[in-house]
Amino acid sequence: MAACQTFYFTRRVIHLGCRQSLVRVSRTNFCSQATSPNKLDNDAVEVLGNRYVRDEWTNVTPQILSKVGRNLHNQQYHPLNLIKQRIQNHFYAKYTQRGNPLFSVYDYLSPATTTEQTFDSVLIPKDHVTRRKQDNYYINGSYLLRPHTSSHQRDLVKSGLDAFLVTGDVYRRDDIDRSHYPVFHQMEGVRLFSKHALFGEVKGGHMLELFEEGRRVPEKQERHTLEAAKLLEHDLKQTLVALVKTLFGEDLRTRWVDCYFPFTHPSFELEIWFGGEWLEVLGCGVMEQELLRRAGASDKVGWAFGLGLERLAMILYGIPDIRMFWSNDHGFLSQFRVDDVNQPVKFQPFQKYEPIVRDISFWIPSGFERADFLDLVRTVGADVIEEVAIYDEFVHPKTKKTSNSYRIKYFQLERLLTNEEVNSIHKKIQDAAVQELGVEGRF
């Protein structure tokens, strides 16, 4: 996560649970089949076979809907699948109970979630900016494509699970560049502890308590005892350091950074020293007790962490462009066809094309949103758009109108684009910006 103020576990997410044998959840029990059509018409939005009535909140686009159901994290030999398997294998091997894996696994849950699941259940305030249309893809006022896998956390805890991993595609109206994409993949993990589970192996643990009527301080929540908070923090950090060392090697250097998330306190980010710099790889913390109370687990405490599969894969495999994960090019996918998911892979570039650059400038109308323009560019240009960056903003001294100037980089991963092709796409973007967003072109 680039900034600690972001209200998600990094740009992706995870959580874990306790005292639960592994359950492999089938797609047929928990979501519609991935082959179900996704459609957008004047009256409704169809997502994985379910039909939703459109309203003034609807802003999901056909380009985004085309990604729903792809489930890259479940495709054999895909780099995201390799990362997912390595993490799951780590938890299967390290955390068992009576010979059975401790963590249940969920990786086919539908991305269409309610606003209550997505925001209210994880304590995001009603007026917080992360709920805005500018940041999310709304199906309608009641449903959206989940921006984080934490949308499922409350329901899974409520079902009685103490330990689980959730993996899925998440959707955010984000920047357009080589490290951002409107669809990416998170892993979510949660682990809960009863009094006995947390203190059972501690000398004198029978005399310790999980809860007290105290006050919130940087080290703990008002309902937690200091002993419970510190033991949870220790267990959490020990678990995550072991995970990243499994992925990157036992000699890996790590450090912890204090941070803020609305659904954990205290909260932390884990950074690793890799490639000559410190890189943030996940966010985590002690779960807010109010969240557990609402989920029917008020007698337990827990910790949670989250990470993004794309970020880990880009670091670990040296993949330079996030769009590559969506490529069907044999030159890319064949590099990850390995017999063992732990086999080291270093991505080898298979194309050396240069991007083609075009600029676009226009006067913006009242109410113009940059996110709407980026979505328009994505819809028209799809994955030939490598980057969109604003390079100038000008306010006319007399008319007080504001002009925006953007630089668009066109780059096809699989082949060389021609100037004629780029000019045609660029013209369509110009025309669509005028017609759909009401800008006044300075073309």
**Beta-carbon contacts of residue 147 (< 8 Å; ≥ 6 apart):** 8, 118, 130, 135, 136, 170, 171, 172
Considering only CA atoms, which of 299, 243, 292, 234 is closest in space to residue 266?
A: 234
Considering only CA atoms, which of 284, 269, 286 is closest in space to residue 231?
A: 286
Q: Following DSSP, what letter does each residue of 135-162 receive, concatenated?
A: TS-BSSSSEEE-SSGGGGHHHHHHTT-S
- From residue 161, give the alpha-carbon distance in Å to each of 156, 158, 383, 389, 409: 6, 7, 39, 44, 47
Model pLDDT, residue 400 = 93
State the CB neighbour count (10 A cutoff) for residue 324.
Answer: 20
Amino acid of residue 44: A
Considering only CA atoms, which of 112, 117, 133, 105 is closest in space to residue 46?
A: 112
Model pLDDT, residue 44 = 96
Q: What is the pLDDT along the chain (443 residues), one digit of tens a residue?
A: 333 433 444 433 333 333 333 344 433 333 333 444 799 999 999 999 999 999 999 999 999 999 999 999 999 999 999 999 999 999 999 998 888 889 999 999 999 999 999 988 888 878 777 888 999 999 999 999 999 999 999 999 999 999 999 999 999 999 999 999 999 999 999 999 999 999 988 888 888 999 999 999 999 999 999 999 999 999 999 999 999 999 999 999 999 999 999 889 999 999 999 999 999 999 999 999 999 999 999 999 999 999 999 999 999 999 999 999 999 888 899 999 999 999 999 999 877 788 999 999 999 999 999 999 999 999 999 999 999 999 999 999 999 999 999 999 999 888 889 999 999 999 999 999 999 999 999 99
Model pLDDT, residue 20 = 35
- From residue 399, give the alpha-carbon distance in Å to each of 75, 84, 434: 54, 54, 19
Model pLDDT, residue 437 = 96
- Using the structure block, give the residue that is written with the tokens 């699989």: 414
Which run of H or E residues covers position 118?
helix 115-118
Here the tokens at position 27 are: 């797609």
Q: Classify 235 in phi/psi space as left (phi over 0), alpha (psi -120 to 50) or beta.
A: alpha
Alpha helix stretches (DSSP H) within 133-284: 153-158, 195-199, 226-248
**Which letter, b or e, does each residue of 63-88 get, where b requires 16 or more Cβ atoms within 10 Å of its Cβ?**
bbbebbbebbbbeeebbbbbbbebbb
CA distance 315 to 130: 27
**Beta-carbon contacts of residue 424 (< 8 Å; ≥ 6 apart):** none
CA distance 144 to 59: 9
- Using the structure block, give the residue that is written with the tokens 């592994």: 22
Q: Following DSSP, what letter does each residue of 23-41 receive, concatenated?
A: -BPPHHHHS--TTS--EE-
Residues linked to residue 37 through DSSP beta bridges, in sequence order: none
Here the tokens at position 370 are: 């940059």
Model pLDDT, residue 99 = 81
Amino acid of residue 386: E
CA distance 390 to 370: 10
Query: What SS3 string covers 392-420?
Result: EEEECCCCCCEEEEEEEEECCCCCCCCHH
Report whether 8 contacts 147 (CB < 8 A): yes
